[in-house]
Chains A and B, each alone.
Chain A
Amino acid sequence: MLLAGGQGSRLYALTQNVAKPAVPFGGKYRIIDFPLSNCVNSGIDTVGVLTQYQPLELNVYLGNGEPWDLDRANGGLHSLAPYSTSGGDGSWYAGTANAIYQNIGFIDQYDPEYVIVLSGDNISKMDYTEMLAVHKANNAAATISVLTVTMEEAKRFGIMNVNDDDTIYEFEEKPAHPKSNLASMGVYCFTWSKLRQYLIEDEADPDSSNDFGKNIIPNMLNAGEKMMVYRFNGYWKDVGTINSLWDANMDILDPNGDLNVYDKEWPLFARNPIRPPHSILPHASLKHSFISSGCIIDGDVENSIISDSVQVGNGAVVRYSMIMPGAVIKPGAVVEYAIIAEDAVIGAGAHVGSDQVYDDPNKKVAVVGKGVNIAPGAEIEAGAMLYPEKKGGDK
């Protein structure tokens, strides 16, 4: 069960009209391609995608699940939106746990022994069968994937305090004085009969916020259920903010990094645009960059991800940036430390963003929203956030 209903409000201009999991990532992908590819590569063939916020583009993208080999006669991919019922008691998904609660009927159809609950808004390459193996070997009611973080970082995460045998004895949300450095990744494995029971009990509690972290996990712990951590040490990044989204895009550019997109053992699947190969014209210069199908490149591209159907004109410069599908960088324009959303146009000679310190966690990444037109010669400052309805050149 893939939680894909989040608004992603800290991505501002990028999630104005789309759910966060549908935000383009890494040249050929959307964020949701990572959990979906992980499911398929882990041998999971039945996936429910829980949608709520701005689901249109996400649903169009998912379609019948065919790009992920999830168009199945039995199981496959199902988009699960909240619905109303004859008693009028249907409602929006009130929280992560409530979203699963409202789909108990969907899960029951398949009568599974185990259910994995994933968040559709982080980037990772993860074999869920390893988590399931830990879960089964320990006969646990729930197993929670954790990352080892620094004690300083631990203050920003949900932290699992564990015994020597990796059983969890306590869960603390963003502790001021962390006792452990095992941070929850929002990836859970449950024995379905147990989870089902706790979801029903939680729903009956009017004071509950119907959330896995706040309610279900603590309730199960308090009731003495056996709960394990699964220690994950591969790549994982929450891409909830502009800077973390930018960072993760830069991570995927490294062909020797943990997010190697050319890994034949763990292929990443995506719905592909129908576009021809890209054209590199005589004035182009490309350094440490991704270029995707349908692009026409005649400028300088350095340390950047160029998604499909992007044009970079003669004399234009794109540095340390992520350019989403269909954007046009006109001749002579300069784009630095920026995220340019789909179909945006950067006018000739315009300058978006400015040089930043690569590793600075507080660097200012400029964002130009979907379809925004930046007038020729305009200056867009570092960290600017241009929403679709704003016109950059008019600032």
Chain B
Amino acid sequence: MLKNLHAIIFTNQAEYDLGPLTEIRSMSSVPYGGRYRMIDFMLSNCTNAGIIDVGLVLEENYQSLLDHVESGKDWDLTRKRGGLRLLPPFSQKAGSGNPRGRMEALANLGSYVDDIRQEYVLLADGDLAANIDLAAVFEAHLASGADVTPVCTHNYSGKPSCTTYYVPLEDGTLDVLRRPDKAVGLECLNIYIMSKEFLSRSVKDCAAHNQYSLSRHVLIPNKDKLKIVPYVFDNYAARLTSIPAYLERSMDLLKPEVMADLFTPERPIYSKDRTDASTYYAPGSAVKNAVIADGCIIEGTVENSIIFRNVKVGKGAVVKNSILMKDCTVGENADLNYVIGDKGVTFSANSRLAGHQNYPLPIAKNQKV
């Protein structure tokens, strides 16, 4: 039990656009990996590290996310004391728009940060698919005596124009680069551990000076005064920075070693629980190289694809290089290639749809094609 670490997860900090997939939901609520929403990974990382108090910072477009997390029960975060807390911007001034950065988002929560009962706080984003041992990160933070421990990776997956980089220099100091032209050094995964006292003070300082950004206004100006010790995490981590990246990151899951890394049984990834039956493969089915969730009925051909729960693929249908989210139906003899079907899309019999590897075709939720 990590009773001394509190987690705050930002659910809408990403500046990425996934077209129709993010029109109706925040990045944290984007479906990924056959049965998950992006937020599941960070919530599970918290649970698996024994963190019991988790605040979820909500901004616009959060209905889909609320439907998904409900009380936090599926992540074992429903507690008499502590547990999951949903944090809409309850202290935000009317008409001031979405917060410009993490510090402003926290300022919008009034006394929330001051009232945290733990000595340390973990800040993270809800749009990172990675299985990270946060207990180990916390141990490293305590052992190093750092003021701030950012979790960073050598494996770049962010957009440099939206990301912060930590570059260890030859003299042993660390340079912090916000939004450089190209990725350099260690890419930050937007996970930080710091003391509550430091965070609380920084939030107030920023608010007093009309500042809003953790990296731009807190870390970079003070990089020589603060002890910043990056924690390097080089296992699999996915960020969905665009529709082609969404396809690419999804196809990564066809590699068993990526599945084994992301879903290691030692640290399970929890999600909203639904009882679905097993998936049925009919006598005429032909499936190769696919990740398929429960509750599907597969009568056709599926190759190089990610299939979410309760999807039906009819006789003679061919689904290749595609992602079909929950409750999609593919009619008989339909043919899909490089298609991303959001929840509940119906592809009628004999329909033919094709995108391209660099330009997959997203179909909005509940559309009939």
Contacts and interface: CB of A to CB of B under 8 A. Distances in A.
Contacts of A294: 263
Interface residues of A, number: 39
Contacts, number: 112
Contact of A27 (B256, B277, B290): B277
Interface string B239-265: 000000000000000101001001101
20 contacts: A28-B276, A28-B278, A261-B277, A262-B280, A268-B275, A269-B275, A272-B273, A276-B269, A277-B34, A278-B292, A280-B287, A284-B287, A286-B281, A287-B283, A288-B282, A292-B278, A292-B279, A293-B35, A296-B259, A301-B281
A277 B294 contact: yes
B297 interface: yes
B270, B281, B287, B298 pick with most chain A CB within 10 angstroms: B281
* Most chain A beta carbons < 10 A, residue from B33, B34, B278, B297: B278
Given A262-B295, A282-B289, A288-B283, A276 B275 contact: no
Contacts of B256: 279, 281, 296
Interface in A270-311: 270, 272, 274-294, 296, 301, 305-307
A28 B293 CA distance: 13
Interface of A: 26-28, 67, 253, 255, 261-262, 267-270, 272, 274-294, 296, 301, 305-307
Q: Which 3 A-B pairs have the closest CB atoms?
A: A27-B278, A277-B34, A261-B277
Interface string B298-309: 100010001110
B283 A305 contact: no
Question: What interface size band does chain B fall in?
Answer: 35 or more
A280 B298 CA distance: 13
A285 B298 CA distance: 13
Contacts of A277: 33-35, 291-294, 306-308
A307 to B, nearest CB: 8
Contact of B263 (A253, A270, A275, A305): A275
A280 B292 CA distance: 8
Nearest to B35: A277
Contacts of B262: 276
A270 B34 contact: no
B283 A270 contact: no
A276 B250 CA distance: 14
A261 B338 CA distance: 31
B211 interface: no
Contacts of B281: 286-291, 301
Contacts of A253: 280
Interface in B129-151: none
B23 to A, nearest CB: 25
Given A255-B280, A261-B277, A293-B294, 6 more contacts: A277-B292, A277-B293, A280-B290, A280-B302, A286-B285, A290-B280
